[in-house]
Amino acid sequence: MNKPAISVVGLGFVGLSLALVNAKKGFFTVAIDNNEEKIKKNSSGKTPFYEPLLDSYLHYSIKSKMIHFTRDLHEILNTDITFVTVGTPPSKQGEIDLSQLKSVTNDLAKILKEKKKRHLVVIKSTVVPETTKIISKRFKNTNVGILVNPEFLREGSGIHDLLKPHLIVIGEENKKDGDALERYYLDFYEKPPEILRTSTTTAELIKYANNAFLATKISFINSIANICQNIPDSDVNTIAHAIGKDTRIGPLFLKAGPGFGGSCLPKDILGLIKFSEKFKDANILFKAVRQVNQNQPYRILEIMKEMGVLQRGKRVSILGLAFKNDTDDIRESVSIKLVNVLLKKGLDIRVHDPMALGNFRVLFGDKITYCTKIEECLEKSECCILLTDWKQYKKLRRINFIKKMKDVNIIDARRVLDQSKFQELNFRAIGLGSKIYR
Ligand code: UGA
């Protein structure tokens, strides 16, 4: 059986990763985006953002001629399955903005109007329940099947997650189209994961439920961390380890820190709050999860105050700007909120990040000092905040701080340092969710 040809519309993090993995797996893939710069960059073998493995997948796909980048949406006609991965960012009010999705599906409906052979349009963008039902009406009187197929991949491990998903969800309007998409996945994976078939609306809500649960776990453990912060000899990491052993709870997503960021969890929890506003009491929990997360960065400021370093002219070093490790993405990163507050208070800010300095410079220009080396960032500093769990920060020892800093005050917001090595008089290192360091 011939492999179906694939098209992917919208080359953000999900779309580009998906297109390249398809090409690598031997599916001819047309990768479409209306941003000319993106198409040029990708076609010349340069990825527009940092993501592990993406570079090598791009080079392979170009070399093997299994991928074709274009701005022309009409080229979907050369394919059998179109995945829609355009952005659904939050609007000013917090509801998701469906304008890109509406515009693309409108165009797809026009282009596919005359196509004789069955074509599948698969919505991968995160959309609120019942969106696809509405969009589907545009494809009336065409030979197009509409499906929902949410994506659970994480930035920083996108390729790995695409190759080894824990589940495939297929939301379908009819069995025949669901069968066709399932056949594609059975061909894609040597050992296919569980494939769950359901309605388009349930599939849409599964994506929100998944991200909302992850966000809830993080806000839960951060709430426990905030209790630990106030009582001596308690430690949130030990508590997380202990409760994680209970299989009903599980160990993942129980890492306390400065709060969740990124382009998904904050947007989706707010999107779900807004969506469920019309149903009585449905969003109480989600509102609390969001509130905890919004307050979490202020814990760092409280500790700075206690340390006596939250003062005009004090020099502060921030290690880590990306919203998590292994990405250059700073969207909704705590670093942005923190730097804005510290700037207002007149501190002298130095920042370091292995990947995200360029993106941060676009936001803050010459208001702060950008350092490519950790030692340079710590130079004459009076407070160091570890904000992202990059592996290079885990290697830091007391001597690295003592050698460079004017006053050694460390706030380990991600608990990356080895606590046992940081207990010493005249040396203040505090891990969020622990009083032990002092
Ligand atoms: C998240 C989900 O994990 C993916 O399953 C989903 O597909 C994706 O959103 C999406 O909707 O596209 P991502 O935003 O890449 O993925 O990052 P996460 O690994 O979920 O981390 C989100 C934030 O939570 C980060 O700031 C991270 O540092 C923080 N976090 C995570 C914690 O503070 N503690 C934890 O235990 C885990």
pLDDT of residue 344: 98
Strand-pair category, 144-148 with 119-123: parallel
Q: Could you tell me if the CB of 265 is within 6 A of ligand 1? A: yes
Taking only the tens place, the pLDDT of each residue in 315-341 is 999 999 999 999 999 999 999 999 999
What is the rounded CA–CA span in Å between residue 432 and residue 378? 20
Whole-number CA gyration radius for the chain = 24
- Residue 127, pLDDT above cutoff 50: yes
Q: Whose CA is nearest to atom 23 of ligand 1?
A: 260
Q: How confident is the model at residue 438 (pLDDT cuts 50, 70, 90)?
A: very low
Q: Could you tell me if the CB of 331 is within 6 A of ligand 1? A: no
pLDDT of residue 245: 98
The structural architecture, per CATH, of the domain 297-438 is 3-Layer(aba) Sandwich (3.40)
Q: Could you tell me if the CB of 155 is within 6 A of ligand 1? A: yes
- How far apart are the CA of 262 and the centre of ligand 1, in A? 7
Share of residues in the chain with pLDDT > 70 (%): 98
Is residue 160 classed exposed, middle or buried when 0-12, 13-18 and 19+ CB atoms within 10 A define those classes? Answer: middle
| Residues known to be catalytic | 264
Pocket perturbation via mutation, ligand 1, pick of 14, 18, 149, 154 by most ligand atoms within 8 A of CB: 154
- How far apart are the CA of 254 and the centre of ligand 1, in A? 11
pLDDT of residue 16: 98
| Cβ atoms 71, 34 nearer than 8 A | yes
| Closest listed residue to residue 408, CA positions, set 420, 400, 419, 416 | 400
Hey, what are 26's tokens?
Answer: 């031997």
- How far apart are the CA of 111 and the centre of ligand 1, in A? 36
- How far apart are the CA of 265 and the centre of ligand 1, in A? 6
| Closest listed residue to residue 335, CA positions, set 326, 346, 324 | 324
Strand-pair category, 168-172 with 144-148: antiparallel
Q: Could you tell me if the CB of 253 is within 6 A of ligand 1? A: yes
Task: Check for a shared fold between 6-198 and 297-438.
Answer: yes
Q: Rounded mean pLDDT of the chain?
A: 95
Give the neighbor-by-neighbor strand order of the sheet with 348-352.
369-371, 348-352, 315-319, 383-386, 409-412, 428-431
Taking only the tens place, the pLDDT of each residue in 195-206 is 999 999 999 999
Q: What is the mean pLDDT of residues 220-232?
A: 92
Q: Could you tell me if the CB of 212 is within 6 A of ligand 1? A: no
- Residue 427, pLDDT above cutoff 70: no
Superfamily of domain 6-198: NAD(P)-binding Rossmann-like Domain (3.40.50.720)
pLDDT of residue 230: 87
Strand-pair category, 409-412 with 168-172: unpaired
Atom of ligand 1 nearest to the CA of 156: 15
Taking only the tens place, the pLDDT of each residue in 282-307 is 899 999 999 999 999 999 999 999 99
Taking only the tens place, the pLDDT of each residue in 256-281 is 999 999 999 999 999 999 999 999 88
Domain boundaries, the chain: 6-198, 297-438
- How far apart are the CA of 399 and the centre of ligand 1, in A? 32
